[in-house]
């Protein structure tokens, strides 16, 4: 059971992510959404009133202070991408066809803006896959990870993405990674590995009840798989 105001690292990541989705949302609404997502996916925490409002307020205060939109180095990166953006934010010419395809896909199928930051990530990752929908997802995920790293005060290099990287490897090579091989590659502890197995079984039986936002959060949980045991950072 979770107790007190000590929040694990992945809880702080989730709070930052929900804040970034809608900066105008009130603290109470953010807390409600945090509880909804966390307790749908983290069944080891049986206190349905956790985290408390004061704990969420403390994290949000840091998020607002470090908001990347207020940092000079991030100015403009959350604006919609276009080829004219390359005057200030160039991308390699060989990546442009893939970036354009992702831009069209995001607007046509996901009905979302494709940001300059996402275009930068698409240009970095395009060689790993020909699947434009996957490239759009990966670009958005890495963009979120970059923003979250800034907002919680960590360098992007410290945001471990090995689980995501292994998924990219699977798509790129067509190899099927067995649970045992995944455990070895990601160097998961026995507890982490068992938690992954439990999560997979849960999704198999409850997949229809898990919405898109929760699935995105599940993916984010693998960014820092070594954190979050027993409510301790």
Cα(105)–Cα(225) distance, rounded to whole angstroms? 30
Higher local confidence (pLDDT), 231 or 76: 76
Provide the pLDDT for residue 226: 32
Provide the pLDDT for residue 176: 83
Higher local confidence (pLDDT), 127 or 171: 127
Enumerate the domain spans of the chain.
9-66, 76-221
Mean pLDDT of 90-111: 93
For 92, list phi and psi in degrees, rounded to 5.
-60, 135
Provide the pLDDT for residue 229: 36
For 4, list phi and psi in degrees, rounded to 5.
70, -165
pLDDT tier for residue 95 given thresholds of 50, 70 and 90: very high
Cα(225)–Cα(163) distance, rounded to whole angstroms? 8
Cα(230)–Cα(63) distance, rounded to whole angstroms? 24
pLDDT tier for residue 1 given thresholds of 50, 70 and 90: very low
CB atoms closer than 10 angstroms to residue 107: 13
CB atoms closer than 10 angstroms to residue 32: 14
The owner of tokens 């470090």 is 66
- Kindly tell me if the per-residue pLDDT of 136 is higher than 50: yes
User: Token pair for residue 91?
Assistant: 């991308």
Number of DSSP helices (H) and strands (E) in the chain, helices first: 10, 0
């Amino acid at each position: 059971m979770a107790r007190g105001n000590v929040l694990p690292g992945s809880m702080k990541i989730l709070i930052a992510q929900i804040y970034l989705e809608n900066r105008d949302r009130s603290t109470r609404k953010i807390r409600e959404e945090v509880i909804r997502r966390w307790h749908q996916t983290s069944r080891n925490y049986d206190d349905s009133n956790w985290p408390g409002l004061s704990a969420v307020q403390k994290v949000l205060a840091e998020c607002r202070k470090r908001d990347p939109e207020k940092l000079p180095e991030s100015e403009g990166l959350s604006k919609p991408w276009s080829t004219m953006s390359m005057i200030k934010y160039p991308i390699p010419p060989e990546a442009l066809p893939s970036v354009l395809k992702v831009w069209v896909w995001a607007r046509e199928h996901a009905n979302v803006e494709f940001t300059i930051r996402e275009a930068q990530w698409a240009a970095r990752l395009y060689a790993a896959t020909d699947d434009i929908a996957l490239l759009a997802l990966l670009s958005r995920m890495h963009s979120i990870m970059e923003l979250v790293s800034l907002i919680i005060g960590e360098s992007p290099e410290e945001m471990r993405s090995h689980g995501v990287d292994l998924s990219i490897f699977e798509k790129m090579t067509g190899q099927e990674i067995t649970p045992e091989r995944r455990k070895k590659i990601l160097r998961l502890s026995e507890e982490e590995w068992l938690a992954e197995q439990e999560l997979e079984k849960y999704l198999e039986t409850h997949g229809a009840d898990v919405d898109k936002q929760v699935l995105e959060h599940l993916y984010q949980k693998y960014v820092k798989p070594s954190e979050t045991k027993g409510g301790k950072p």
